[in-house]
Amino acid sequence: MNQILTVKDLQKKYNNFTLGPINTSFKGGVIIGLIGENGAGKTTFIKSILGIIKSTGKVEIFGHDISTEEKDVKENIGVVLDNSFFPEVLTANDIDKIMNPLYKNWDPGLFYNLLERFSIPKNKTIKTLSKGMSKKLEIAAALAHHPKFLLLDEPTSGLDPVVRKEVLDVFLDFIQDEEHTILLSTHITSDLEHIADYILFLNHGQIVLEETKDDIMENYGILKCGINDFSKVAKEDIIRFIKNKYNYEILVKNPFKLQKKYPEMVMDKLTLEDLMVLIVKGCEA
């Protein structure tokens, strides 16, 4: 599979926050879940990749420097940002007319099929649509020019569970072509548990974890023990921990091995939400 994204020493400095330096790369045919709490740098990372925010370092998409104005590179990128970039006075029909001459691969048939699939009215202005409906319209527009790389910032925010599943199914269909890649930032970590191949975890502007989703779910666990039993857990077995009123929750690696080592304690399966909370809010041993 071809290399889709390469990020080298990407850094963006603000007065009170620094993103990076970030180094990562991904090949085609995968969904990369980008997670982290508010303010961790997810949106800054996505906008830096797109060149919307000027950052230091180097970003290559399809082997080309994104800072260049090479039209073919940008033709093959679909974008949905957290805040809509379409004026609220436009309708879906207006968007079709505007986008058609801008993208050589714009596909009106696909666009209107997605509008129908998402139950989006063609003649209503964006300002009259719900937040969820507006988001679905952005997703339809991002897909309608047949991009190879989708960058999505909170694309399912505001959608109910039924519609979210419908949108996720569209993303899974998109990724069936091994040249296609999705970078998806979301707070709905349960969505990523269903569709993501890789997890990129940002905390305070740094990558703190970058692994396949399956490896994370299989190789990490939560060891729970009573207040008086915490001292029995070896420091080298503790990644992070949280002290609750009646027990401790401990993020550990090799859960099957540690379950045998501490048979009197409870080993729970990890969720991505658990992972975020323990790493962001937990303490070191």
Kindly calculate the radius of gyration of the chain based on its CA atoms and give it in whole angstroms: 21
Token output for 149: 């790389």
Residue 155 DSSP symbol = T
- Residue 88 belongs to what domain range? 3-204
Instruction: Note whether 193 and 236 are same-domain residues.
Output: no
Instruction: Note whether 178 and 234 are same-domain residues.
Output: no
Cα gap 120→100, rounded to integer Å: 19
Largest CA distance in the chain: 68
Token output for 208: 């703190």
Instruction: Note whether 23 and 128 are same-domain residues.
Output: yes
Q: Which of these, 160, 140, 164, 142, lies nearest to 151 by C-alpha position?
A: 142
Answer positive or negative: Cα dihedral of 81, 86, 89, 92: negative
Instruction: Note whether 200 and 230 are same-domain residues.
Output: no
- Amino acid 69: pLDDT: 57
In a domain, 209, yes or no: no
- At 250, the pLDDT band (50, 70, 90 cuts) reads very high
Does residue 1 have a pLDDT over 60? no
Q: Which residues, including other chains, have CB under 8 Å from residue 6's CB and lie 6 or more apart?
A: 25, 58, 59, 60, 63
Cα gap 41→8, rounded to integer Å: 16
Q: Which of these, 75, 57, 79, 277, lies nearest to 185 by C-alpha position?
A: 79
Instruction: Note whether 245 and 133 are same-domain residues.
Output: no
Domain boundary among 204, 236, 267: 204
For 130-189, the pLDDT digits (tens) are 888 898 999 999 999 999 999 999 998 878 888 889 899 999 999 988 889 999 999 999
Domain boundary among 184, 204, 224: 204
Instruction: Note whether 232 and 172 are same-domain residues.
Output: no
